Structure 1
Amino acid sequence: MVRDDLYITVPSSFRCPISLEVMKSPVSLCTGVTYDRGSIKRWLDAGNNTCPATMQQLSTKELVPNHTLHRLIKIWSESVLNRPENHPPSPQSLSRDQAEQIILQLEIDLKMIHNTPFPRFHTIGHNLSTLISFVNEACDNRKVVMEAGGRVLPLLVSLVGKKQSLSDLCLLEKIVLFCNVILKNRVKIDSEGRDNAMFSGTEMWKYDFKTIILTCLKQGRLELRIAVVEFLELMSTHLGSQMQQSNFIPEHDEMYFELLRLIVSSNWSTDALDASLNLLSRMVVFKKNISKMVRVGGVKALTKALSEPELSPPLTEKVLKLLEIASSSREGRNEICGNELCVQAILKKVLKVSNAATELAVTLLWSLCCFSGENRVAAAVAESSGVAKILLLLQSNCSPCVRQMCGDLLKMFRCNSKSCCLSCYDTKTSHIMPF
């Protein structure tokens, strides 16, 4: 019901001449007067053939919707509802007891999903949003959620694979985010403290996770795509060998393409890069997967990331590590050696980012030039500032392993270079002048 102080501000043209209430469905008679549809129909159904406001005889009883007035009333109504005084005060933070009650209700709803034709998806989504906000308010709140996480997590993971949730990406995002909260805190999978007990059976794996995962990566907004990739990486960490046996992660070309697309299409979001690189590193442990990553453009995507000037040292190290893994396959070596930008990007990271990045870059160059005998890379490095950087690195406080690789690289450059200075260089020289 409208408050008194708001009621007197209602424009007179918005009120029905019969009921004096704000019109919900304004319609006009042939006389040009507008009424609320319900009120004028009752007047006409009573046998009246006149306009109530003017008492004119009606030539027709046709009711014409007044769309313009309807839109104006709608705009006015929304402006009234959006006034600060009409908004309820912000709810106070949940207490521990309230959070436990919400978790209990969530658990009940999740258990009933597979046994009811009308699952309470809306209620589940609302409770998940409430709990996510509750956890983010304070570190102590995590303990409340973690205590029940072992019971709720397997139910939520099963829901990810439920086909009915496929079309509701908003619900899926809430589910995945809440799963990540639990997994990041390394919760026990069941309340008795037996790790992975709930995931050891086959019940969870009967659902089609692959289809939903790819749908999220293809159609979801950036936040959902990042959350799904983090979810897969966290699940891999907790399940270990069970993850590979269950085929939970789609390991065909489409999956690698989406992970690489997340890297290059995220405007270099740190979260997106970190999530994608972590999962790719886990997936390419198996040699058959290295070729898949390379085949869908892995070297090109990693080169773009490595060439990004604002890339942080930890992310730079992860990109270099993936390139090193890619170079262990023939396809990867061919892609790197044929990509001049990739070789230049690797060289730029020597002595520029961190000791770990320098060691990875040198190892990658050594692997390509010395171990695999790729003269194309050696020639490209020798023609650029690579030789000077290797010489400077030998003068630095590098590890014995890096020093040995630098020496091997210089020997190869000397063999491939026509430079008198380089051809006369002896790797046993005690003092190096790279100028």
Structure 2
Amino acid sequence: MGRVELCITVPSLFHCPISLDVMNSPVSLCTGVTYDRSSIQHWLDSGHDTCPATMQVLSSKDFVPNLTLRRLINLWASTTSSPSPADLEEKVVVWMEEISNAKFERCLDSIVEFVSCGEVNRSFLASFDGFLETIVGVLSVNGMQIRVLESVIRILSLIVLENGVSEKLQKLIFKSYPNSNCLASFISILRNGSLESKMACFTVLESVTTDNESKRFIAGVENNLLPVIIHLIKIDNDDQELYEVVLSFLIAVSVTRSIKSQLVQLGIVEVLSDMMSSQNAAISVVEKSLKMLSIVCTCADGRSALSSDQKCAGAIVKRLMKVSKKATEDAVLVLWSMCCLFSDEKVVEKVASSNGVTKVLLVMQSEVREGNVRRMCGDLIKVLRLGCKNGGGFSGVVSYETITTHIMPC
């Protein structure tokens, strides 16, 4: 390997929150947050009157030297030297030997600390011959301790975006099946791991499912991954960050009719309906929920679930004009598919009784004025007005002709 400049681990307390560099002259504001003098002085001289880390308005712009922290930084600097590339190569070889011999105790913690230090370290380790194969090999061991698996996933999530890593991981995880079933380790973490490790799992999984073959594999019934994921968001639906990551992954893998049907059978529509009906749902989560609904409504099972759900259509109507333009388009697509393309009486009645005509008219008058979305809104207005004329019901649905044919249902 060529010679590269490598980083050493720096205690997070020594970093300036503004420059992210080790502080030369640490000073503390009245909020108690410490910065490097030059960085905070530049911030204040630029006209700011807030603490950059907390955004609290400063009662005083004076700052005092943090002499204790300065002494700690000087002591650390005097006892720490940057290792040479040769030293690091030797260290990585030792790590790999310890992993191969199942001596995980301090080895994995050291690797996590190393790759957390900076991009240079991550690139060095990701390109080190044989390291990726060695670390992924841990995921193939049956009955591995959850703490070990969490450390491995954490390492992989930190290096997966490095050049060529996702492609190598894809081969290691999928091509070796069934001789080494790495997905079992992912499932173990999703069931028993910490929130941080679950998030790391989805970072890795989404990065390696980049083609239809890998998506079909990862969603295969025999892998039991999708049931675990749906169960996860059913029991942890208060964690919006996790929910959003899960939805991003499901949107990425939902490429075939069988995958969509499997998700519907596992209760995805009910989960999405509950989330959109929640007043505490983050807008980003609602928008991904609408995207997921626009995907599942293209299969017969999805449409059946949407029709049977008592609150989904009403929740979609309530979210119109309260989300982004793209999410509004997804919402219109779902309503149009159910009401116009497939003439579902239950959904038409629910949308009409939820003030759907007014909401759809507002969408037409907003920035969503062109192309298929506008035509779908026009179709919806006609069908919903017919429902309103029938007293809110929609008995005797007639075949509805429309020129909007861009959606191809499964």
Alignment of 1:257-276 (within 5 A): 257-276=227-246
CA-to-aligned-CA distance 1:89-127 (integer Å, 9 cap, x gap): 99669765279845653444335645xxx4221132221
Listed as ranges, the matches of 1:90-129 within 5 Å are 96-97=82-83, 101=87, 104-110=90-96, 113-114=99-100, 118-129=101-112
Of 300-309 and 150-159, more deviation after overlay is shown by 150-159
Asked if 2 retains the 8 angstrom alpha-carbon contact of 1:99 and 1:144, the reply is no
Compared with structure 1, are the counterparts of its residues 204 and 392 closer, same or farther at alpha carbon in structure 2 (3 Å cutoff)? same
Give 1:123's aligned amino acid: R
Q: Displacement, 1:187?
A: 2.3
Structure 2 residue aligned with 1:78? none
Any conservation in 2 of the 1:256–1:293 contact (CA below 8 Å)? yes
2:122 to 124, 145, 150: 145
Q: 1:185-264 alignment to 2 at 5 Å? A: 186-189=162-165, 196=167, 200=171, 204-205=176-177, 206-237=179-210, 240=211, 243-244=214-215, 247=217, 251-252=221-222, 254-264=224-234
1: CA distance, partners of 2:286 / 2:85: 41
8 Å Cα contact 1:106/1:127 also seen in 2: no
1:415 to 376, 386, 394: 386
Offset of 1:410 from its aligned partner?
A: 1.2
| Counterpart-to-counterpart distance in 1, 2:193 and 2:373 | 43
- CA positional deviation for 1:396: 2.3
TM-score normalized with structure 2 length: 0.68
Q: Give the whole-Å Cα distance in 2 for the aligned partners of 1:296 and 1:419.
A: 35
Candidates 313, 318, 322, aligned match of 1:348: 318
Higher Cα radius of gyration: 1
Give the percent of matched residue pairs that are identical in Structure 1 and Structure 2: 24
The answer as to whether partners of 2:316 and 2:331 remain within 8 angstroms in 1 is yes
> What is residue 161 of structure 1 aligned with on the other side?
140
Residues 283-320 of structure 1 deviation map (CA, whole Å, 9 limit, x = unaligned): 21111111111111111111122223343333322111
CA shift at 1:369, angstroms? 0.8
Are the aligned partners of 2:333 and 2:376 in contact in 1 as well (CA < 8 Å)? yes
Deviation of 1:385 after TM superposition, in Å, equals: 1.3
What letter corresponds to residue 169 of structure 1 in structure 2?
I
Match of 1:402 in 2: 373
Using structure 1 for the length normalisation, give the TM-score: 0.64
1:345-381 deviation per Cα after TM superposition (whole angstroms, max 9, x unaligned): 1111101122122111111100111111112111111
Give 1:333 shift.
Answer: 0.9
Distance 1:293 1:304 in 2: 16
Structure number with higher relative contact order (C-alpha < 8 Å, ≥ 6 residues apart): 2
C-alpha separation in 2, matches of 1:249 and 1:103: 38
Deviations 1:153-209 (A, max 9, x none): 33322222222xx3321121111111111113x3234xxxxx846865788543121
Mapped partners of 1:103, 1:304: distance in 2: 52
Contact 1:273 1:315 in 2 (8 A): yes
Decide whether the 8 Å contact of 2:189 with 2:198 is kept in 1.
Answer: yes
Q: After superposition, what is the alpha-carbon deviation per residue over 1:192-247, rounded to whole angstroms, capped at 9, x for unaligned? A: xxx8468657885431213222222222222222221221111224xx356358x3
User: Secondary structure at 1:340's aligned position in 2?
Assistant: coil
Matched residue SS, 1:97: coil
Amino acid at match of 1:174: S
Who is 2:305 aligned against?
335
Provide the residue aligned with 2:114 in structure 1: 131
Match of 1:312 in 2: 282
State how far apart, in whole Å, the 2-side matches of 1:280 and 1:314 are.
15
**Mapped contact 2:190–2:228 kept (Cα < 8 A):** yes
Unaligned stretches of 5+ residues in structure 2: 1-71, 395-410
Long gaps (5+) in structure 1: 1-87, 135-140, 190-194, 424-435
CA distance change for structure 1 residues 99 and 359 in 2, over 3 Å: closer, same or farther? farther
Q: 1:143 to 1:327 in 2, by over 3 A?
A: same
SS at structure 1 position matched to 2:329 = helix
Alpha-carbon distance in structure 2 between the residues aligned to 1:384 and 1:211: 44
Count of aligned positions: 315
Query: Displacement, 1:282?
Result: 2.1
Calculate the aligned-residue CA RMSD, in Å: 3.2
Q: Which residue does the alignment assign to 1:58?
A: none
The separation in 1 between residues aligned to 2:85 and 2:215, in whole angstroms, is 35
**C-alpha distance in 1 between matches for 2:376 and 2:169:** 48
Q: Distance in 1 between matches of 2:349 and 2:290?
A: 20
Partner residue, 1:299 = 269
Distance 1:94 1:330 in 2: 64
- Is the alpha carbon distance of 1:153 and 1:268 closer, same or farther for their aligned partners in structure 2, counting shifts above 3 Å? farther
- The 1:382/1:172 distance shift into structure 2, 3 A limit, reads same
Q: Is the 8 A contact 2:140 2:180 kept in 1?
A: yes
Q: Please state whether the residue corresponding to 2:294 is helix, strand or coil.
A: helix
